[in-house]
Amino acid sequence: MRGNFFFTALVLLMTAAMSSAAVSVIDYGIFASGADGKIRGWDTVGGDRMTVTGIDGGIEISVQSAGRAFNDTGFTLVKTPVAKGSYRITVTIGGDAGAKLFIGPRIAATPPAKDTIGPDIWETVGAAEKNISARYTVLDDTTLRIIIGVGMKENAGKKIAIRNLSFEAFTPEAPKTEVKAGAGTEYDNIIITNDVDDGSKPARLPVTVSIDESIVLRAGGKRCLGFVLGAFPIDGYFMNEQRTEISAEMRNVLATIPAPLNRIIMYVGSADPQSFRWKYAVGPMESRTAAKFTAWDKPLTAACGPAELIGAVRGGYAPARFIWTLNMRNDTPEDAADLAEFLTGDGSSPRGATNWAKLRIDGGAKQPVDIVTFELGNEEEWVSGSNRMSISDYVDRCRKMIAAVRSVYPKATFAPHAATAPWGYSRFKGEDWRDWHRTLLRELGNDISYLAFHPYYYGYPTSVIETYFDVIRDDVKNITGSDRIKLYISEHGLWPAQKQGERWEKTWYTTHALMGCLATAQFINRLYARDDIGLATYHCFNAGPWGLVYRGKQTKALYTTGIVDMFRLYNDAMGANVLSSTVTGDWTDPAKDDVSCTVTATDSKDGINLIIVNREKITKRDAVFSFKGRYDLIRSVTLTAPSVHSYNDENEKRIMVKDDAPVMADFSAYTVPEKSIVALYLKRRQ
């Protein structure tokens, strides 16, 4: 933990071996009074007053006063090694209703700021005892402790019981690397995996895929195949040298990129009063206002404003739809109403002196923009210090923006954002990450259609990311009484590992190398397996290391990465509905960290399409299929490369796509190559 959030901590040493047996780590005898009269491992600081006594299977803490201080380290008398691997912590809590506690595993040997190994647990005690659990990955043989914090002001006068704390090993997984990644604090200490293969896996393994085409799992379509238009300035990518129109080069590139859903985020603003706003980039060039996209930018005037950008994207992909991220800091509700007119009006009936819709039309976006939803800001609560937006302030601004936009565009839908980076939330913010979205659901539930969320993977594997989806899904149902509100994954992508002593930029290529394509494809398959996911937009078109499009440093020419090829494959193969499918075999369980083979089955006009992802580096999958009906294989499309580290650059296209037309009558088996994404097109037999 860091910052000024303080708790009283109970530090528990724990022992575990790589086995399936649970190891109880709460034993009151461990904490019996020593010669100094103190309970071992218990640290009461800053004037907190409480009593700890032993009960059956655990301890009971009676809090007299609390809330002044926190010691993250506590006292440790014995250091017991823990073997590397995957574990689950479970615990039973009870006591007085309304009491709160924090449970978090820590690596004993590291500084407090760098010692987390996974998501912390924040819980409120209810009327009855309840069991809670969380999963963690330990990268190396080390020493662990569990911190249980109870020194919150609201706990004064309450009792908290902690029983049956256990630490259970899962099946060992592929080796892991350093517990450090990211340029910003959002993703410090997330767990980055190595390549899927550890050098000892078999050359081929069987897998069974059962399809029930009579059961529609969820809507398919292209609503999870979007990406983010988020980089400013984009003039160097989009505009010609004179900055007067979209370049022919970019128009040619856009014609090759399917763009069904586009998140526009460059106008979200910041605490800097000179930060970029949408009104600064519309109208004649001489009337536009110079602004800064980030605090370290020089003020620039944008030639490629929202009208030019939207017009260019639709020029390459006519049915393109858009999501607009509203500026919650610098724009007023009246600005938001003007924006709604700018995007959706036809220019025939301006609301005021400025005809905003006509400015869009004159800028190159002739038809009204098809807006799927308005996103209410971007990671507003993640900002540090006095610039951080509180939940009450955020809710108030959301209400005003919603009302303003709907006054012009009544059918508008909205997506406030859930907590940013919940895997490190308690450590960075000292809060329960769930409180943010739970408040939004209670206060805004009737006015919103989505909750935006930003997961990056590997990072935590997709199995862990989905546990956060589960929490939000369950809260939506429990608080609102229905599952109408869906998750909008407004950013996602492979988070590149950073090796100790090396610059992070050295691994940026992995985001769009073959390994990045495979990781993102697996994530998309998992999104389409869940009915609680409504929308998804990959980050990002040309920002940071995740780009779909880059300009070569030597040739100065635009080129596309393998992520574009991956999205083409999905856009072509994805049908209107996702069908029920079951995959069995090694490394196919989506709830396990080692999952590397996933399948999406979707309907087509005359049959079924299958999208199969095999992330294994050396292992082919001999797949056997079963269906309710009978089908012929008429087409296969395979995306792969010589190595998982292969990536496109300005000189060479290394991500390869092979499109074949094999005819396999009465299709029932197929060998999926290693490190590949395969789309199979099956035609129903007459």
Position 302: which residue type? A
Report percent pLDDT > 70 for the chain. 77
**pLDDT tens-digit series, residues 404-438:** 999 999 999 999 999 998 987 777 777 899 999 99
- Rounded (5°) CA angle 196-200-204: 80
Region 321-326: mean pLDDT is 97
Least trusted range by pLDDT, from 263-267, 322-326, 471-475, 520-524: 263-267
β-bridge pairing 549-551 and 558-560: antiparallel
Position 394: which residue type? Y
**pLDDT tens-digit series, residues 346-367:** 999 999 999 999 999 999 999 9
Cβ neighbors of 575 (< 8 A, separation 6 or more) are: 220, 602, 603, 604, 609
Between 566 and 179, the higher pLDDT residue? 566
pLDDT of residue 639: 98
Do 167 and 136 touch, CB atoms closer than 8 A? no
pLDDT of residue 127: 66
pLDDT of residue 424: 76
Question: Is this prediction's pTM over 0.85?
Answer: no
- Rounded (5°) CA angle 128-130-132: 160
Residue 648's closest CA among 577, 581, 549, 553? Answer: 549
Region 60-64: mean pLDDT is 79
Between 38 and 609, the higher pLDDT residue? 609
pLDDT of residue 396: 98
Residue 99: both structure tokens together: 């009491």
| Residue 241: burial class (beta carbons within 10 Å; 0-12, 13-18, 19+) | exposed
Sheet of strand 597-604, all strands in order from the earlier edge strand to the far edge: 656-660, 631-640, 676-684, 607-614, 597-604, 577-584, 204-219, 620-626, 669-672
pLDDT of residue 183: 33
**Cα 642 to the chain's mean position, in Å?**
28
Per-residue b/e over 337-375, b at no fewer than 16 CB within 10 Å? Answer: bbbbbbbbbebeeebeeebbbbbbbebbbeebbebbbbb
CA dihedral defined by 527, 533, 534, 540, rounded to 10 degrees?
-50
DSSP string, 331-360: --HHHHHHHHHHHH--SSS-SSSS-HHHHH
Do 493 and 511 touch, CB atoms closer than 8 A? yes
Residue corresponding to tokens 């600081």: 45
Question: Which residue blocks in 459-617 are alpha helix, DSSP H?
Answer: 462-480, 514-528, 562-573
pLDDT at 460 over 60: yes
**pLDDT tens-digit series, residues 162-220:** 777 776 665 544 433 333 333 333 444 343 444 444 557 899 999 999 999 999 999 99
Region 467-490: mean pLDDT is 97
pLDDT of residue 101: 73
Do 323 and 371 touch, CB atoms closer than 8 A? yes
pLDDT of residue 382: 86
β-bridge pairing 204-219 and 620-626: parallel
Report the distance separating Cα 178 and Cα 636, nearest Å.
38
pLDDT at 401 over 90: yes
Region 511-518: mean pLDDT is 97
Report the distance separating Cα 561 and Cα 271, nearest Å.
34
Cβ neighbors of 4 (< 8 A, separation 6 or more) are: 430
| Residue 385: burial class (beta carbons within 10 Å; 0-12, 13-18, 19+) | exposed
pLDDT bin (cut points 50, 70, 90) of residue 35 is very low
**pLDDT tens-digit series, residues 515-562:** 999 999 999 999 999 999 999 999 999 888 999 999 999 999 999 999
Region 307-320: mean pLDDT is 97
